[in-house]
Amino acid sequence: MDNIKWGIIGLGGIAKKFASHLKETEGGVLHAAASRSKEKANQFAKDFDALYAYDSYEALLQNKEIDIIYIATPHSHHYENTLMCLNAGFNVLCEKAFALNVDQVKAMIEKAKEKNLFLMEGMWSRFNPTILAAKTEIENGAIGNLKAVKADFCFHFDYNLESRLINKNLAGGALLDIGIYPIFLSYLFFGKPVRMHVDSEYFPNGVDKNLVMLFDYKDGEEAILNASLQYFSPCDGFLYGDKGCIRLHGRWHEATAYTKFRKSMEDPITVNFDKRALTFGYEIDEVHYCLRNGLKESRKWSWQNSIEIMEIMDDVRKYIHLDYGEIEKL
C-alpha cells in the first residue's frame, strides 16, 4: 500500500497538532483539509502541506483519493460527522469523546459494520508506551497486586461561552473533555466499576466544572479520579499495589516516564521513554497498521472498549444530572 492519505475535518487546535505529528510519522500523508472557512482551510493546507483545501466538510467527501478522515470537531458533532463520513464511504478516526452517549456510539459502530469500514475513537493514551510498560510491570508482579488507581486531569479555564470547553450546545464540561482520561486509566486496569460515587460543581450554564469520582470494582479495588476546569494540577497518575506503587509522571496521559517505588520507599527506579510519547505518532501507527491489514477495528482500542467507556461516562452523567438535550438525540 502506498502512503495512507489522510483528510481532516474541523481545523482547530487539535487538528493542527495532529497534522504536525502526522508529518513525523512514516507511511501517512495529509492529503486534504476541510473547514467551514475557505481561508482557514487554505492556510492549514499551506502550513501542513496538504494537496487540497475545502471550505466545507461535504466538499472534502468528494475527494475519493482519501483513505481515512480524522474528525477533530467538538464532541457535539462527532456522531453526525462520523455518520456522514462513513455514509460517504470513508474510514474514520474520530477524536475522543467518541460521541455524547452510548446510543450514539453504538449507532456509529453499526454504520461502520454496515459499510465495512474502519472506525476508531482517538483514545491516544491507549497507545502511550510509558503507560503500556507500567502495565506490563504490574502484570509481571512489580508492585504486587494492583489495588487502586488514582489519576486526575485538571487545568484552569476561564468561563467563556464561546469555547467548546464550556458551551453546552457544543457538549462542553470537564467530563467529556478531560474526565474521560482518568476514567480511561481506571478502565485500562480494572474494566467497568460495580459502584460509583460522584460529585460535581458547575459553571453558571450548567456544565460540569469540577468532577470527583470514586469507583469500586468487584474484587474490592478502587479508583480515585478527578477532573477540573478550575484549578491546576501536574496530573500525576498513581498505580497502587500491595507491595509498591508506580507513579506515571505528569501529565500522565502523555507520560514519558514512570517511577517505581517499593513498599520500603528505598531505591525508587525511574524509567524514561522517548518524547514521541507526547505525540499522536503511536496512535497513527495503530491506524496505519489496521488499514494495511484490512482490520475494521483496532484490537488495542476496540469498539467494545469505546462502548464501555461511554457507558461509564453515561453513568457518571446520571449522578451529576448533566443532560445535553436535543444534541444527544439519534
Ligand X SMILES: NC(=O)c1ccc[n+]([C@@H]2O[C@H](COP(=O)([O-])OP(=O)(O)OC[C@H]3O[C@@H](n4cnc5c(N)ncnc54)[C@H](OP(=O)(O)O)[C@@H]3O)[C@@H](O)[C@H]2O)c1
Q: Does 10 bind ligand X (CB under 6 A)?
A: yes
Classify each residue of 130-149 as buried b or exposed e, where b means 16 or more C-beta atoms within 10 Å of its C-beta.
bbbebeebbeeebbeebbbb
Residues in Cβ contact with 27 at an 8 Å cutoff, skipping those fewer than 6 apart: 3, 4, 288, 292
Q: Locate 321 and state its grid cell.
A: 444530572
What part of residues 217-246 is at the interface with ligand X (CB under 6 A)?
Answer: none
Residue 12 lies near ligand X (rule: CB under 6 A): yes
Q: 14 vs 196, which CB is nearer to ligand X?
A: 14
x/- mask, ligand X, residues 161-180, rule CB under 6 A, reads ---x-----x------x---
Q: How many CA atoms lie within 13 Å of 249's alpha carbon, on the beta-carbon side?
A: 16
Among 11, 85, 134, 166, binds ligand X (CB under 6 A): 11
Position 40 contacts ligand X (CB under 6 A): yes
Task: Write out the three cell numbers for 137.
Answer: 510491570
Give DSSP secondary structure letters for 166-218.
T-GGGT-SHIIIIIHHHHHHHHHHH-S-SEEEEEEEE-TTS-EEEEEEEEE-T
Nearest 5°: CA angle at 293, between 291 and 294? 65
Nearer to ligand X, 13 or 294 (CB): 13
> Which residue in the set 7, 28, 74, 241 belongs to the binding site for ligand X (CB under 6 A)?
74
Segment contacting ligand X (CB under 6 A): 12-20, 61-69, 256-264, 288-296?
Answer: 12-20
Per rule CB under 6 A, is residue 91 in the interface with ligand X? no
Residue of 129, 79, 111 lying closest to 286 (CA atoms): 129
Interacting stretch for ligand X, rule CB under 6 A, among 69-77, 104-112, 259-267, 298-306? 69-77
How many residues bind ligand X, per CB under 6 A?
22
Cell of 96: 475522543
Q: Which is nearer to ligand X, 139 or 158 (CB)?
A: 158
Told to check if 148 binds ligand X by CB under 6 A, we report no
CB 164 to ligand X: min, Å: 4
Q: Which is nearer to ligand X, 126 or 150 (CB)?
A: 126
> Does the protein bind ligand X through residue 260 (CB under 6 A)?
no
Q: What is the DSSP letter of 106?
A: H
Contact range with ligand X by CB under 6 A, out of 72-80, 186-194, 256-264, 295-303: 72-80
Q: What are the backbone dihedrals phi and psi of residue 9, each rounded to the nearest 5 degrees, phi first?
A: -120, 135
In sequence order, the 6+-apart residues with CB closer than 8 A to the CB of 211 are 174, 175, 179, 198, 199, 200, 226, 227, 228, 316, 320
Q: Which of 5, 21, 31, 96 binds ligand X (CB under 6 A)?
A: 96
User: Could you list the residues that contact ligand X (CB under 6 A)?
Assistant: 10-15, 35-37, 40, 72-75, 77, 95-96, 122, 124, 164, 170, 177
